[in-house]
Amino acid sequence: MTIGARIAQYRKQAGLSQEALAEQLGVSRQSVSKWESGGVMPDLDKVLAMSALFGVSTDALLKETPAEAPEETPEESSEDLPEPPLAEETIEEVAEEIADKIAEEPLAAAAEPPEKSEGFPAPAPQAQTPAPGKGKRLRRVLAAVLAAALLIAAIAVPLYFGGVRETWWALNGGKVQYPYVLVSGMGGWGDGVGINATLPYWGAGTGSLAEYLTQEGYTVTEATVGPFSSAWDRACELYAQLTGATVDYGAAHAKAHNHARFGRTYTEARVPQWGEKINGGQRVKINLVGHSFGGATVRLLTALLANGDAAEQAATGKDTSPLFTGGKADWVHSVTALCAPHNGSSLTCILEEAGGLLTLDSATELLASVVYAVGGLAAPADETYDFMLDQFGITGPVSLQEAYDIVTSSGTDNVAYDLSPDGAAALNARIGTAKGIYYFSYAYTTTRKGALLGGQVPLTGTLPVLMPTAFAMGSYTGTTPGGIVIDESWQENDGLVSVVSAQYPTGDPHADLPEDASAFETGVWYVAPTRSGDHGTVIGLQAAAEPTHRFYDTLFEMIDGLRR
């Protein structure tokens, strides 16, 4: 157990939150979070204060026994670190070598006559024969003392910093804090869109989440990707923004879907040094957080980084974008999906069937209208909203209707297809999970079992605009054109996404979210207990600031504390 874990353990035993402990100690909540995650060590006065507060000795707070020290495994120590000191020689051997040098030097010096000083006669040389065994005894004493000192240092220093790797990090610039990247869903926007100044996507009425989390000490960026583009196009745009490059949609993909290969250029990387090794060999990784269709976007980006794409490699050879060459699974630390339609949304089936009756041009148009209504927007003004349709040759403002027509003209290369159960199944077939990456999923529900009509009916606290969609999804069953059966298990929903779809992608390894963070494994979706709320609750729509902030504080603290 590390020192940070001990602080967290005693804090919880004392019934204190991180905020409460921070207040008692006169520090920020983020300082407590960094102590517990192992990012920094508390000052001595804070250690003494916590010792008194928790009613334990400083030894109990700071020391760990050898039996408690976790063993390093290949998975636990993925960073390429140099060999620890004393890897080939024992402490005793090193101590004896040092002792020999120390013991020999004074004996040799004593055997040599002193130099003659100018003007004075040199004294008669004295015999300097050491007593039998004296040099050997001196060497043994020195060796024992040095061995004890080295042993204490070898144990105490890693204990102080929380482990061997933590010690190495502390000596080489500190533990790298992984940035968080927030990715919006269909129709969403990031900090590059004018509307974000008046209504932030992340935080909504509670205020900017990025600003709040930045004040809490985290590095956070809100990506801006195509609101109606496919998961593929959005993943390519996200990669270019994070690295500071020109968007490359891939030659094979662009040809198949009849749009340009290259998009706009980003001159500044949102995550400088992403993928590089710094501070003693630590890889700069990112934590991806996607809401709604942003979940599919971050999953596909992660899969492309890890596995690349054979079609793009065949089409462009040495000119292939680094995004499609693979081998970069260790660029991502975690993936978190919030209300994400991992298996698609049954609402697309409902809207497709209802589209003709409502004389709408497409189910996409109706679905997007619902999304904007959730955000409190009748329709975003062209001058404040960037539809990001560069790949289709559109670089200036367009109307909402024009944006719908452009993206749907590409066939299946759009958000509507990827959101359908059939489109989501096609995505799932190529994505999967990757070893070395942690996966978390959070589903919300705004319906309950109907007493009279059966199915699921919306709760009274549901956003008014989501009442009709929640009710429709709560009673729908059917079969998709691709043969996917939408049965009663799909009926519980958050107004836009079924709970069963938001939990984990079909076919991927998954488990319930454990209480013990040490039990987390990579490559497995950890499904949190279903939370109460609708599709907008998790991003702050018609939600209070305190529970919204508490959710992200808890989430980010958990991710920061994950084993590296």
From the list 259, 291, 535, 549, the catalytic residue is 535
| Angle CA 100–101–103, to nearest 5 | 65
Contact 254, 214 (CB under 8 A): no
CA angle 413, 419, 422 (to 5 degrees): 85
b/e code 173-207 from CB counts within 10 Å (16+ = b): eebbebbbbbbbbbbbbbbebebbeebbbbbbbbe
Q: Which of 31, 33, 184, 292 is catalytic?
A: 292
* Of 526, 365, 508, the residue nearest 440 (C-alpha): 526
Token pair belonging to 15: 């019934």
Residue 26 phi, psi (nearest 5): 75, 35
Closest CA to 349 of 485, 230, 505: 485
Nearest to 408 by CA among 340, 360, 454, 448: 360
Give the ranges where 356-399 is alpha helix by DSSP (H).
Answer: 363-374
Considering the candidates 233, 494, 534, 560, report the single residue annotated as catalytic.
494
Alpha-helix runs per DSSP H in 216-283: 231-243, 251-256
Q: Is 494 a catalytic residue?
A: yes
Query: Two tokens at 346?
Result: 């049954």
Residue 292: active-site member:
yes
Phi/psi for 448 (5° steps) reads: -140, 165
Task: Please state, in angstroms and rounded to a whole number, the distance separating the CA atoms of residues 301 and 4.
Answer: 33
Residue 248 three-state SS: strand
Give the residue numbers annotated as catalytic, written as ranges: 292, 494, 535
